[in-house]
Structure 1
Amino acid sequence: MPLTDNLRNVAKALGKPLDKLRMVTLDKPRLSAAIEEATQLGVKVFALPDGDVAASVLTCWQDNPYDVMYTIGGAPEGVISACAVKALGGDMQAELIDFCQAKGDYTENRQIAEQERKRCKAMGVDVNRVYSLDELVRGNDILFSATGVTGGELVNGIQQTANGVRTQTLLIGGADQTCNIIDSLH
């Protein structure tokens, strides 16, 4: 489904006009057309330099700063995001695209794309198919864990203290949709 249709559907589901919808994405050249498309609809677009998994989580938090997340990114980040979104009771869809579709159709990218397509075929994964959240994460027994290395909107980054190192970890339990922040001293 085209981005415009998806944004209209999200706005309708949330009972918001398009000019009140808040979309988060990444500030990457590959997303410039999507940013322009959403902006033309009146959607408020937040383009972050990085942090697609964190942005996905933030769309599902209470008092969240974003209503919808759209990006073109890596498959591992997509599956990690799907785990967090499902654990928080959210929803998402993802389409697996090849390297050329994500990064541009160049000679060096074609070799990578061909290898990816072969791996996907061997695993029974369809390229260019839209997967539902339940197809991305089949079970409900989910535990999402993220420890900050650099600071962000979810957790603080590693901090050097007089007694060692302090880290902060976010744990999301899917069974009861709880979020816990754990401060650790090492």
Structure 2
Amino acid sequence: TVAASESGTMFNPGPFVYMNKIAVGPDAKHSIDIEAPPKTNLQNIARAKGCNIEDLTVIILDRPRHKELIAELRKTRARIRLITDGDVAGAIMTAWPESGVDVLMGIGGTPEGVLSACALKCMGGEIQGKLWPRNEDEKSLGSKMGYDLNAVLQMEDLVSSDDCFFAATGITDGELLKGVSYFGDGAKTHSLVMRSKSGTVREVISKHRVEKLIRISQIIDN
């Protein structure tokens, strides 16, 4: 997975490995507030999408730190979809109608939050985040470096450029992309390529001839 934009337009995670996130697709844009309770966010998302809370699916990383969040969500009767990893894919799925996912919630990687912001900017969605220090040392270092731990990071804070790019290729089968499959002397890959300026999202199935790829890589190395 890679994202690109003009120099200085992407958020620098600094010492912060994790951030709390909430992300939605275009049909629920401007309806979220990471500082609001989960139930309030679900009510606003359901209102924006013209459905009931019970019709919403929330995607969350399956981690012990989300025990309380999951308990709160169960009380709302929203559907919960737990994933073992890959919350960038989870964020993208909120803007991918075929996925059946409406909102991403929970704590995941800060760099992944920036990648997700680039992807959702291309797709017309929205993400908000708040830095989540793992310990007092990380908190103290971040404060010394000038990070505001109480700040809500909006889309424009995570990636301010209106011309950013995002690309991802599956390695193993995941929630969004198929993994690499092999046939004879070749391989097939499944990728997504996006650009925010055009709003174009390309889903690419590629077939590669391994022998030629090896030859090209040897030329580059030399």
TM over 0.5: yes
| CA shift digits 1:72-130 (9 cap, x unpaired) | 1110111111111111000121111101xxxxxxxxxx3xx4135414642x3322321
Deviation at 1:184, TM superposition (A): 4.1
| Residue pairs, 1:1-186, within 5 angstroms | 1-99=36-134, 110=135, 113-115=136-138, 117-119=140-142, 121-122=144-145, 124-182=146-204, 183-185=206-208, 186=210
| CA shift digits 1:2-47 (9 cap, x unpaired) | 2222222211221221111111111111112111111101111111
Q: AA paired with 1:37?
A: E
- Cα distance in 2 for partners of 1:96, 1:35 equals 20
Identity of aligned residues (%): 35
| CA shift digits 1:122-166 (9 cap, x unpaired) | 2x3322321111211111111110111111232221223211333
The answer as to whether partners of 2:94 and 2:103 remain within 8 angstroms in 1 is yes
Q: Which has the larger radius of gyration?
A: 2
- Cα distance in 1 for partners of 2:140, 2:132 equals 9
Runs of 4 or more consecutive aligned structure 1 residues displaced over 4 Å after TM superposition: none
The answer as to whether partners of 1:98 and 1:117 remain within 8 angstroms in 2 is no
SS of equivalent to 1:130 = coil
Unaligned runs of 5+ in 2: 1-35, 211-222
- RMSD over aligned Cα, in angstroms? 1.8
| CA shift digits 1:154-185 (9 cap, x unpaired) | 22212232113332221012122222123141
TM-score by length of 1: 0.84
SS of equivalent to 1:92 = strand
Q: AA paired with 1:114?
A: D
The answer as to whether partners of 1:156 and 1:168 remain within 8 angstroms in 2 is yes
Q: AA paired with 1:159?
A: S
Name the residue aligned to 1:102: none
Name the residue aligned to 1:106: none
The answer as to whether partners of 2:61 and 2:108 remain within 8 angstroms in 1 is no
Equivalent residue pairs, number: 173
Q: AA paired with 2:138?
A: Q
